[in-house]
Amino acid sequence: APALPRLPEAPAAHTVLNLREYETIARGLLDPIFYDYVAGGARDEVTVRANEHGFARLGLLPRMLRGSDTRDLGVTLFGTPSSLPVFLSPTAFHRLAHPDGELATARAAAKAGVIMTVGMASTTSVADVAAAARQAVPDRAPALWFQLYLQPDMAVTRALVRRAEAAGCTALLVTVDSPVLGIHERNKRNGFNDLPPGVVCENLRDLTGSEPGHIRQIAMSADLGWDHLDRLREMTSLPVVLKGVLHPEDGRIAVAHGVDGLLLSNHGGRQLDTAPATVDLLPDMLAAVAGRVPVLLDGGVRRGTDVVKALALGATAVGIGRPVVYGLAAGGEDGVRHVVDLLREEIDHTLALCGATAPRDLTPDLVRTVPAVP
């Protein structure tokens, strides 16, 4: 197994101008095997590229002279307030990126007032993550969601749900796009198939098996059906958000099964390669759901303009995955904080230029399909 990454020197924040620069910095700091794990995707990585390209093929058509000097970027998502229409999507194994791991991410998210999704495959327990968030901002309840791979063993599912509830998580993101794991040829080439010694999936401790917290305890099962979701639904009063549905018909079925929201996601191109860009699928999904539940989106969001495009098309909020891990690798808590703050400034600036004062002012007519600019 590869060694833990060396502790990176935090770059002076003012020298980093945008999220893509954080990828370049992280690439220079991370063990190449871990960088490939984060940056890579399934097979030819067509979907990885498609997500960003989807945003590049949309232009923003601004409105003028609407006369307002104040903007409010805040939204409330399933009862949890967020200072931005952006949340941290779940990403596994933060201790591969930085020794402080998920604790650093949680502190940054709490101080920035955005929601962090704690992955089932986090390398710090959800209880410890919640404690770090509470400590970082004592006067506010931690804004944490918990991501769960739907498990065939309902006892394991129940134990994980209880851990998330006990930690104070306010929603469950249930990932359903992984009946089998995506094949990442970079990981195969690098021989990366185990976590380094001492790094384990803390949420899985004492659940099953003889190897506590071993990644192989996460069951990927192609045998799961909508009835499993129904049983999860009965298990908790937390809002349930389904992550990874792409087909509009699945959106309709999910709503019929009582989900509280959808996260339109192709797992950042890490599961089915050649799945379309999420932003291209958004209009059809919104039509299928017809306003019955909020639709969130992730995949390829790297700029405030990307966020504004997704919101204008009708998404309630968007998630960021890789940029968080890159910020973490580059500067621990400060790096994640800076990633969120860069996005905040860009969204605010974009709203001003579009003549909007809040996400609710954004409408689909502001978005036009344009030829891709080289």
Q: Which one is catalytic: 184, 267, 338, 349?
A: 267
For ligand FNR, which is the closer residue by CB, 238 or 356? Answer: 238
Nearer to ligand FNR, 134 or 175 (CB): 175
Pairing of strands 261-264, 240-243: parallel
Give whichever of 99 and 355 is closer to ligand FNR, judged by the CB atom.
99
- By residue count, the chain amounts to 374
267 counts as catalytic:
yes
- What is the nearest approach in angstroms of ligand FNR to the Cβ of residue 88? 9
Q: How far apart are CB 277 and ligand FNR at their closest, in Å?
A: 10
Q: How far is the CB of 365 from ligand FNR (least distance, A)?
A: 26
Please report, as ranges, the residues that interact with ligand FNR according to CB under 6 A: 38, 51, 89-92, 119, 121, 147, 175, 243, 265, 267-268, 270, 298-301, 320-322, 325
CB of 44 to ligand FNR, least distance (A): 16
C-alpha span between 211 and 92 (Å, rounded): 18
Residue 155 CB, nearest approach to ligand FNR (Å) = 21
Question: How many CA within 13 A on the CB side of residue 341?
Answer: 15
Burial class (CB in 10 A: 0-12, 13-18, 19+), 369: exposed
By beta-carbon proximity to ligand FNR, the closer residue of 323 and 359 is 323
**Quick one: tokens of 320?**
């960021």
Point out the residues that are catalytic: 267
